Structure 1
Amino acid sequence: MFSLKNVLYFQAGLGVLANMFLVCFYIYIILGHRPKPTDLISCQLTFVHIIMFLTAGDIWLTDLLASLNIENDVKCKTTFYINRAMRGLSICITCLLSVFQAVTISPSTSLLANFKRKVKKYMISALFYIWVFNFSVSTDIIFSVGGFTNVSENKQMKVSKSCSLFPMSYIIRVFILTVTMSRDVCLVGVMLTTSTYMVIILFWHQRQCKHLQSISHQRASPEKRATQTILLLVIFFVVMYWVDFTISSTSILLWMYDPVALTVQKFVVNAYPTITPLVQISSYNRIINRLKNLQSK
């Protein structure tokens, strides 16, 4: 368990540093360097991932609240509520990023081309409603989590060092899982649909260019590189999400606490926000070029 804990702290440290670097870069771009519409979406996704790390279980924010002598029950409700909202925002913003990129690269003759201007126009509103929606639907966690007291007497399920889930009837547990799963399945379905569409577009574009020059000598356009990066992130997110969902749903339905399974789940949950900035930093030439320009000045 000690080694797993060390892995979690290393993962969290790496994730926070990479995301902080990336959010600073996006802010630098947004404040006056001709930002792309996807920059605002990616910036918010990066910020969400930082908050996810800070509110994950027994890492950092929990210790900070404890040092301020805040009541344990309030501490648990606050951290779990924010973390639940951030996890919902992560899947929603990733879905929005996937949809936006699919619309962006769609040919002018396609039906999606008609939505290009509309998507840019309503992007701010969409992000606002996504934030409001996720903070609203996450309020149930306030009533179902609290400070840990005694598992044997109160049948609470310990989910961190000092927090636990309150007892719930099996019907309520199934209902909450069904509602959550319905929302997430819809979003994952949209991501897989747009990803499939983008793969078809890229394949079609590659075949169109084949008669001009050898594929091995072609330089990928910025749009193509961005699309490939988003596809990679979406696929990775979907895989990590279903692993996390399998572990968490099994624990809730069986009402069974396993410290090893809980630690593995935390590692899986944090895998996507850790990998995302690393993939973006290594894939976007714009970031590399900006860093080179800053070094040359």
Structure 2
Amino acid sequence: MYFPLMSSLKNVLNFQAGLGVLANMFLLFFYTAIILGNRPKPTDPISCQLTFIHIVMVLTGGDLWLTDVFESLNFENDFKCKATFYINRVMRGLSICITCLLSVFQAVTISPNTSLLAKFKYKLKKYVIYAFLFIWSFNLLFIGNRIFYVGAFTNTSETNQMKVTKYCSLFPMNYIIRALILTVTVFRDVLLVGVMLTTSAYMVIILFRHQRQCRHLHSISHPRVSPEKRATQTILLLVVFFVIMYWVDFIISSTSVLLRKYDPDILTVQKFVVNAYPTITPLVQISSDNRIINMLKNMQSVCHHIFKKGYFFSSF
């Protein structure tokens, strides 16, 4: 029973990773075309960057495809472990930072002109560029020193190795360095999650006020949802889902660290949880963006027209 169960779980992970990569690649091409084209939305550059981060995050987070690539290129296990660990940790840090930035950006965008945030609306593009530079620099440098404490599992009886995947393990580090890394990581995550929850509450209040005002407009019999409101609802959904998945992953990771034991079942569940957000995010964005929905409808109409035309000519 154990081996068929593990095989089924691996198939689920492969399906989840494939779905996540394909959906994010579709969004990446879409946002890139929109940005290079005319009149992109203010949040499009942030969403485009988030989709790229999620593609790399899924590819490096499951030991599924990138591991096979490294093995086909005859890379050593130590290099494979350091590369996948570093890239995945950087992408996970960027994911929470960019998601927080997206939440703040949308909160400023929909803020009333009488609010304190209104003065930042016309400077958002410049601020976003500075934010990108700071976020990438911080995560690349902060995770850089941790690659010295991860490497290939030596399959020995040494107790100072903590096996974290099938081939990789964490080595012991100085108490001060470990405490410093843990403090900065927890401070960063708690701060960003707090900011996301605060901006989410702020956006909920604005949407509630807007909805209450619309009820007094008797001339509107069938009010339509504005693009700003739809985008805000989408970001709120993504933030809530991210926070839930983050705390589930935090509990699983903390349990593994306390036990200092490699458990394939726990690791499989953790991989599924970690990849849940980058897999669900593009699906939510695709289903809620009218531009994508209209584009898919137009493509469907064109394909249907071509099919009928081809069928018509084939009948002669």
TM-score when normalising by structure 1: 0.95
* Equivalenced residues, count: 297
Deviates more, 1:171-180 or 1:187-196: 171-180
- Could you tell me which amino acid in structure 2 is paired with residue 265 of structure 1? Q
* 1:1-297 mapped onto 2 (5 Å cutoff): 1-168=6-173, 173-213=178-218, 217-296=222-301
**Tell me, what secondary structure is at the counterpart of 2:75?**
coil
Deviates more, 1:32-41 or 1:182-191: 32-41
Q: Given the superposition, is the C-alpha separation of residues 82 and 214 from structure 1 closer, same or farther in structure 2, using an over 3 Å criterion?
A: farther
Q: Given the superposition, is the C-alpha separation of residues 215 and 151 from structure 1 closer, same or farther in structure 2, using an over 3 Å criterion?
A: farther
**Tell me, what secondary structure is at the counterpart of 2:114?**
coil
- Could you tell me which amino acid in structure 1 is paired with residue 210 of structure 2? H
Displacement after TM superposition at 1:140 (Å) = 2.8
Q: Given the superposition, is the C-alpha separation of residues 192 and 151 from structure 1 closer, same or farther in structure 2, using an over 3 Å criterion?
A: farther
Deviates more, 1:12-21 or 1:60-69: 60-69
Displacement after TM superposition at 1:117 (Å) = 1.3
**Tell me, what secondary structure is at the counterpart of 2:287?**
helix
Deviates more, 1:276-285 or 1:132-141: 132-141
Instruction: Give yes or no for contact 1:145–1:165 (8 Å, CA) kept in 2.
Output: yes
Question: In 2, distance between residues paired with 1:216 and 1:148?
Answer: 66
Instruction: Give yes or no for contact 1:150–1:156 (8 Å, CA) kept in 2.
Output: no
Q: CA RMSD of the aligned region, Å?
A: 1.8
Deviates more, 1:18-27 or 1:243-252: 243-252
Question: In 2, distance between residues paired with 1:52 and 1:216?
Answer: 46
Displacement after TM superposition at 1:39 (Å) = 0.4
**Tell me, what secondary structure is at the counterpart of 1:217?**
coil
Question: In 2, distance between residues paired with 1:150 and 1:169?
Answer: 23
**Tell me, what secondary structure is at the counterpart of 2:262?**
coil
Displacement after TM superposition at 1:216 (Å) = 8.6
**Tell me, what secondary structure is at the counterpart of 2:251?**
helix
Displacement after TM superposition at 1:212 (Å) = 1.1
Question: In 2, distance between residues paired with 1:171 and 1:125?
Answer: 31
Instruction: Give yes or no for contact 2:165–2:262 (8 Å, CA) kept in 1.
Output: no
Question: In 2, distance between residues paired with 1:190 and 1:6?
Answer: 36
Gaps of 5+ in 1: none
- Could you tell me which amino acid in structure 2 is paired with residue 90 of structure 1? S
Deviates more, 1:169-178 or 1:19-28: 169-178
Instruction: Give yes or no for contact 1:26–1:40 (8 Å, CA) kept in 2.
Output: yes
Question: In 1, distance between residues paired with 2:21 and 2:156?
Answer: 33
Displacement after TM superposition at 1:95 (Å) = 0.3
- Could you tell me which amino acid in structure 1 is paired with residue 31 of structure 2? Y
Q: Given the superposition, is the C-alpha separation of residues 225 and 216 from structure 1 closer, same or farther in structure 2, using an over 3 Å criterion?
A: farther
- Could you tell me which amino acid in structure 1 is paired with residue 142 of structure 2? V
Displacement after TM superposition at 1:172 (Å) = 5.2
Identity rate, percent: 77
Partner of residue 311, structure 2: none
Displacement after TM superposition at 1:154 (Å) = 4.7
Question: In 2, distance between residues paired with 1:104 and 1:175?
Answer: 36
- Could you tell me which amino acid in structure 1 is paired with residue 38 of structure 2? H
